[in-house]
Amino acid sequence: MPVFKTERRVGHRPEQMFDLVADVDKYPLFVPLCEALKVRRRVNAGDDGIEILVADMTVAYGPLRETFTSRVTLDRPRLHIVAEYIDGPFSRLENHWRFAADGEGTRVSFSIDYEFRSRALALVMGAVFDAAFRRFAEAFEARADAVYGRPGA
């Protein structure tokens, strides 16, 4: 049952980082292993600034491709994003993003907890996923610099 957690400080505002992570349609441009992402449904969950997405993400590594479906809750007032597994090659997958002001930047917390349904797939893809998750925070930070400019530049 792999769990990966990281926390880092970036030089962009919390709202900017939230917007960047919430823009799931752009993931194939910069997220490690993400070959495609399709949002099936978007729903505003009332007047409280919460939006819920159902999305299919295809991850690829060499000839291997797997697609899974997640329910993503974008909680703008709390600057919190949660993705919960619905269907695909996992028995469990849940990840959290939290964004908090930290001086003139943001403290970004990312965690993911997952388990492959198939032991064979876990053996083949487990190390690849672990390496990709370790690069996630860096990929989002680099994307923020590309979209918003490098802090202090």
Q: How do residues 103-114 score in pLDDT, each as one tens digit? A: 989 999 999 888
CA distance 41 to 105: 32
The answer to pTM > 0.85 is yes
Q: How do residues 79-105 score in pLDDT, each as one tens digit? A: 999 999 999 888 888 999 999 999 989
Do 70 and 137 form a contact (C-beta atoms < 8 A)?
no
Q: How do residues 23-67 score in pLDDT, each as one tens digit? A: 999 999 999 889 999 999 999 887 788 999 999 999 888 888 889
87 vs 16, 41, 71, 90, CA distance in Å? 30, 15, 10, 7
Indicate whether 118 pLDDT > 90: no
CATH of domain 3-148: 3.30.530.20
CB count in 10 Å sphere of residue 97: 25
